[in-house]
Amino acid sequence: MERIWVIIPAGGRGQRFGGTQAKQYVLLRGQPVLAHTLNIFLHEKRISGVQLVLPGEDLESGVWRDLLSDDLALPLAPVRGGKQRADSVRRGLEALRKAGAADKDWVLVHDAARPCLRAEDLGNLLDSLRESPQGALLGIPVADTLKREKDGLSLGTVDREGLWRALTPQAFPLAALLAALQSAQGAAMPITDEASAMELQGWRPRLIQGHGDNIKITLGDDLALAAAILAARDEEK
Ligand SMILES: Nc1ccn([C@@H]2O[C@H](COP(=O)(O)OP(=O)(O)OP(=O)(O)O)[C@@H](O)[C@H]2O)c(=O)n1
Ligand SMILES: C[C@](O)(CO)[C@H](O)COP(=O)(O)O
C-alpha cells in the first residue's frame, strides 16, 4: 500500500503580505501561521511524514526552530526552498525521495500560508485517492462574476461556467509529480500549482470540493480573516 507524505512549501518571502516578517512566521491567535498549518497534518494518522521547505537563509539561521514548539517535532529535516514555489516543491520531492519515499507513494502539497484547512476537507481528499489514479486536489467552484482587467478597466466578462478555484492540498504520486515539475521548468505558462504541471503531462486530476474558508494568507488583511475563521471554529466546538 502506498504511503502518504506531505510537503509544506514555506519558502516564500510574503512580498504581497508586507511587514517585516515572512507571513508564514507571523503570529495567528498566538501561534505562527506555519505552526497552525503543520498541526493539521501532524495529527492525521494516515500521513507518514511532513517535509517542510523553508527559505534558505532561515534554514541557516535556524529561526524556524524558535517558532515551532517541541510538540511539533518534525520527523524530516526541513530543506531549502527555491526561487519559485514550484522549485521549492521540487526540492521537497527530492528530499522525500532521499528519505526513502517510493515513486508510487502519494505526496500532498499544501501551502504553509493556508492555516485554515479543515480536517474534514483533508480527510475527503485522502479518501478520494483510491479512486483518483490521476491525482486529486481541493477546489471550489467560482461564485463571482469574473472580469478581464487592463489598465483598471474591464475589458469584458469571463464565462465562469465550469471554472473552479484551485486550493491545496494537491495530491499526486511522487515520481510523476517530480518528473512533471522538472519537465515544466521553463514552460511558457507559469506553474503556480502542482495540478498545472501534471495537466501539461495530460493528467486529469479529480477536483474535490472544499470550503472557501481554506484561505491563502496573501495580503495583509488576510491575517485578520484567518483569525476570524479560526475563532469561529473554536466557538463551534
Ligand atoms: N519560492 C517560494 C514561493 C512560495 N512558497 C510557498 O508557497 C506558498 C504559496 O505561495 P505565496 O502565497 O505566493 O507565498 P509568497 O511567495 O511568500 O508570497 P508573495 O508572492 O507575496 O511573495 C506559501 O506558503 C509560500 O511560502 C515557497 O515555498 N517557495
Ligand atoms: C497553489 C495555490 O495556492 C493554488 O491556488 C496557488 O496557485 C499559489 O499561488 P501563489 O501565487 O504561489 O500564492
Please report, for the domain that includes residue 32, its CATH number: 3.90.550.10
pTM of the model: 0.97
Q: Is the pLDDT of residue 64 over 80?
A: no
User: Which ranges of the chain does DSSP label H, i.e. alpha helix?
Assistant: 33-42, 56-61, 63-67, 85-98, 119-128, 174-184, 194-200, 222-236
Phi, psi for residue 207 in degrees, rounded to 5: -95, 125
| Closest-CA residue to 28 (of 217, 233, 191) | 217
- Specify the pLDDT at position 66: 76
| Number of domains the chain is built from | 1
Q: For 205, which DSSP code?
A: P
What is the residue-averaged pLDDT of the chain? 94
Give CA–CA dist 87/47, Å, rounded. 23
Query: 107 forms bridges with which residues in the sheet?
Result: 5, 172
Check residue 175 and give its pLDDT: 98
Q: In this predicted model, what pLDDT tens digit does every residue of 201-228 receive, in sequence order?
A: 999 999 999 999 999 999 999 999 999 9
Ligand 1 geometric centre to CA of 31 (Å):
19
Complex ipTM value: 0.98
Residues with CB under 6 A from ligand 1: 9-17, 24, 53, 81-85, 88, 111-113, 216, 218
pLDDT of residue 71: 66
pLDDT tens track for 92-126:
999 999 999 999 999 999 999 999 999 999 999 99
Residue 107's domain spans which residues?
4-236
